Amino acid sequence: MDRKNQTQAARTWFESLRDRICAEFESIEREAGSDASFAYTPWDRDTEDGSHGGGGVQGLMKGKVFEKVGVNVSTVSGTFSPQFADQVNGASEEKPGFTATGISLVAHMTNPHVPAVHMNTRFLTTQTAWFGGGADLNPPIPYEEDTEAFHARLRAACAAHNPTYYDRFKKWADEYFFIPHRGVHRGVGGIFYDHLECDDDPSFDRNFAFTRDVGEAFLDIYPQLVRKRMGMEWNDAEKLQQLEWRGRYAEFNMVYDRGTLFGLKTGGNIDAILMSLPPEAVWT
């Protein structure tokens, strides 16, 4: 399978996963007595020379349970700037071309007892090609049993492919989702992986299968946690705790997050890139 067909296969999967996630989140809203639904906004990316560079669709819902949830898919191509090309796997100032397709999700919840969450998976091609992604849980009020359930489901997804994956990718997430200037982690972790390179059809099939299982694991476990906590009562102090935690989340995404940087450096849709920011936060 050539790179173009690989990209199309990954794109088709990401869009299918988007549709199923959004349907599940809307079902949760119905269970809460809300008629909130996703609004979808397509966007196009123009390259530096004025040619079409792909685009994507931003999906956004603001409801009773999900205060703000974005589920975005995009497929873009073009060339990296000379200053940025050398920072990307397989790219260089002499060969700056790329294609990228992926899904990105961030959910900020109304109830501070319901954990916020981030998930993304992606397929990139430069002079090489690879999958990356992961999922991590971000509760303002952590519950040990929720953390265990989330990690157990990701552990099972990893174990089906490689016995070393979970420990490696959990460690990567713990190191990546850390706010150095605060000295704290952004949440309770999950898995983070990158550069699962696809040098031939067998490696593409293997890494694509793993990436699909990461998406399935997220779709399985996260709605369970939402339904478990969304009916809990909360008080003003707990809401303030959530808003202060959201400030930390925003700091990480604006200062350290590689996905935010990639989107901004490649001329992506600004609203889609910054959909990860919470609808409300405080700094005290």
Task: Give the model confidence (pLDDT) of 138-154 as tens digits.
Answer: 999 999 999 999 999 99
pLDDT tens per residue, range 159-176:
999 999 999 999 999 999
- Asked if 118 is an active-site residue, the reply is yes
* Residue of 108, 113, 118, 151 marked active site: 118
pLDDT at position 47? 66
Note whether residue 141 is domain-resident.
yes
Count the Cβ atoms, other than its own, within 10 Å of residue 228. 16
In a domain, 219, yes or no: yes
Helix (H/G/I), strand (E/B), else coil: 104: strand
Domain count, the chain: 1
Q: Could you tell me the pTM of the whole model?
A: 0.93
β-partners of residue 39 are: 60
Residue 284 falls inside a structural domain = no
CATH code: domain of residue 202: 3.40.1500.10
Non-local CB neighbours of 155 within 8 Å, separated by 6+ positions: 166
Phi then psi dihedrals of residue 106, to 5 deg: -140, 130
Question: Is residue 97 within 8 Å of 126, Cβ to Cβ?
Answer: yes
Residue 190 belongs to some domain of the structure: yes
pLDDT at 98: 87
Q: Is residue 209 part of a domain?
A: yes
- pLDDT, one tens digit per residue, over 215-260 is 999 999 999 999 999 999 999 999 999 999 999 999 999 999 887 8
